[in-house]
Chains A and B, each alone.
Chain A
């Protein structure tokens, strides 16, 4: 009796959790193919009208471009800085290690609204070489790196621990300089870790909109920011299309990495 009831409960929960997670995804996907200009169920006619509308609108296409540029920049900045810092933590002993650790990790736990506000206030009217920093894409990349870099650091610190330090020693014994050893021995052996943490950095930046809301102007606004602003005025099926495209960008990069990973497995 007990066992039967548990089985029924487990089944009910499984149905609930699948429905819960799938509902917003499916609603969005379905709505993006709606032909009408209001959001209303049931959907009477289907078309690709709103996809055409999205790609025909310079404002939305520019926002998408901005998002991708900022996400790529964030990926490069946070992966390089996070990997180097993680290697320093794994290989060296130095003073103030716990303090430095806290300083690097702390931004990850800060609310986006606080980080965005702080950066906006501190760099609100700073200009470099005559160019306003505020509103520039670089500032958004650096702000997004406050979340992406600690994440890369955390993942890479764990990954570097799996590196067999004897091969590093062997490289030194054979006359390899530290820099050469790092690039030719260490990095290739942790490439999967680096690629996955870079992906996380990319996804975080692509999806983030609270910091970007504080830091972008009309010209540099990212897709999530534009979506948030237009949701506040009126929701149209165009927003559903934007959601689908944003998610598609994430899943395309995810599958590219899966393909790379499988090829990597075949090689060995």
Chain B
């Protein structure tokens, strides 16, 4: 919070002390109600559910067991899904940050008149539903898709090809979904840099490559970390894109949760997986916050 808010509060709305103290809580009550009733309560409910038992075909049987957590250590499906999720999220985040970085740098360097067009372009994946994005690529990659047709009719290849249901397709889709977040975070970082540093570096004899490594990269380190974390969190939680575009065996944790809930009706297991996923996301967020506060401490 800004210091200004606390400075002006005493001279703010006038009235008896208790009313002053009550007003912010009244103002916040709808937001708090939503957060507590539809986020806090369900998480607590899920925490309890994860210790229940699953007997026969019933959703759950009240009980207290650590089986659902123990299963994660022994179940090869789960460890495979955990590994798949991490690998997908890690690789797609690195690719996304790399593409987003170059894209943001380009927009920053290009003349102003191009800027609006590029920003509109970057907004597209953000405004389009994930399902539409999936379906778009779903029509592009298969044997009878546009890619295959374009390659064959241009004479580059003779036989139709299909890239559908490959990990490559899953990465293309995931990166598409996370790209705008990275781009806008990085663009705001670049906009804070004075372009004169580039001229200064060139005047001192620095080549473009050296300027990049010794001037731009250190200045944008924080933005790279923030955008990487953002896309990592997003990619870990997304299961629709990899499961629809990737191979059948590409099971992420999100997919397992859905499978346990809607397919196998095993509520306790689905809840335990969700708690683990939630904790993972929370840990990543906390690491970022720690890194962020360290950065501001260093830079004053």
Contact = CB atoms under 8 A, between A and B. Distances in A.
Contact of B11 (A17, A169, A232): A169
A209 B240 contact: yes
Interface residues of A, number: 90
Interface stretch (B32-40, B62-70, B73-81, B188-196): B32-40
A85 B27 contact: yes
Contacts of B150: 41
B135 to A, nearest CB: 5
Interface in B84-105: 99, 102-103
Given A80-B30, A115-B39, A165-B8, A203 B239 contact: no
B45 interface: yes
B166 interface: no
B137 A107 contact: no
Contact of A84 (B28, B128, B270): B28
Contact of B146 (A41, A93, A250): A41
Q: In this complex, which of A18, A113, A210 has the most chain B Cβ atoms within 10 angstroms of its Cβ?
A: A113
A209 B130 contact: yes
Contacts of A168: 12
B43 A243 contact: no
Interface in A223-268: 224, 227-228, 231-232, 235, 239-240, 243, 246-247, 250-251, 254
Contact of B27 (A84, A93, A243): A84
A199 to B, nearest CB: 10
Q: In this complex, which of B27, B37, B240, B271 has the most chain A Cβ atoms within 10 angstroms of its Cβ?
A: B27
A112 interface: yes
A247 B137 CA distance: 16
Interface string B215-256: 000000000000000000100111110001000000000100
Q: In this complex, which of A3, A41, A77, A145 has the most chain B Cβ atoms within 10 angstroms of its Cβ?
A: A41
B32 A103 contact: yes
Contacts of B23: 88, 92, 178
Interface stretch (A47-55, A116-124, A188-196): A116-124
Given A94-B25, A121-B49, A203-B127, A109 B102 contact: no
Interface string A69-113: 000000001001110110111111110010010011011011111
A113 B42 CA distance: 13
A109 B2 contact: no
A247 B32 contact: no
B91 to A, nearest CB: 17
A110 B278 contact: yes
B189 to A, nearest CB: 17
B132 A114 contact: no
Contacts of B6: 93
A130 interface: no
A231 B130 contact: no
Contacts of B43: 118
Given A13-B102, A106-B39, A251 B127 contact: yes
A188 B132 CA distance: 36
B156 interface: no
Contacts of A209: 129-131, 240
A122 B45 CA distance: 6
Contacts of B40: 103
Contact of B239 (A25, A80, A113, A169): A113
Contacts of B140: 23-24, 27
A91 B9 contact: yes
Nearest to A3: B208
Nearest to A97: B1
Interface of B: 1-2, 4-6, 8-9, 11-15, 20-21, 23-25, 27-28, 30-43, 45-46, 49, 99, 102-103, 106, 121-122, 124-125, 127-140, 144-146, 148-150, 153, 176, 179, 207-208, 233, 236-240, 244, 254, 257-258, 261-262, 267, 270-271, 274, 277-278, 281, 285
Interface of A: 2-3, 6, 10, 13-14, 17-18, 20-25, 27-28, 31, 38-42, 77, 80-82, 84-85, 87-94, 97, 100, 103-104, 106-107, 109-115, 117-123, 142-143, 145-146, 149, 153, 161, 165, 168-169, 172, 178, 203, 206-210, 213-214, 224, 227-228, 231-232, 235, 239-240, 243, 246-247, 250-251, 254
14 contacts: A41-B146, A41-B150, A77-B34, A81-B31, A81-B34, A88-B23, A91-B24, A109-B281, A113-B277, A114-B274, A122-B41, A122-B46, A142-B37, A213-B258
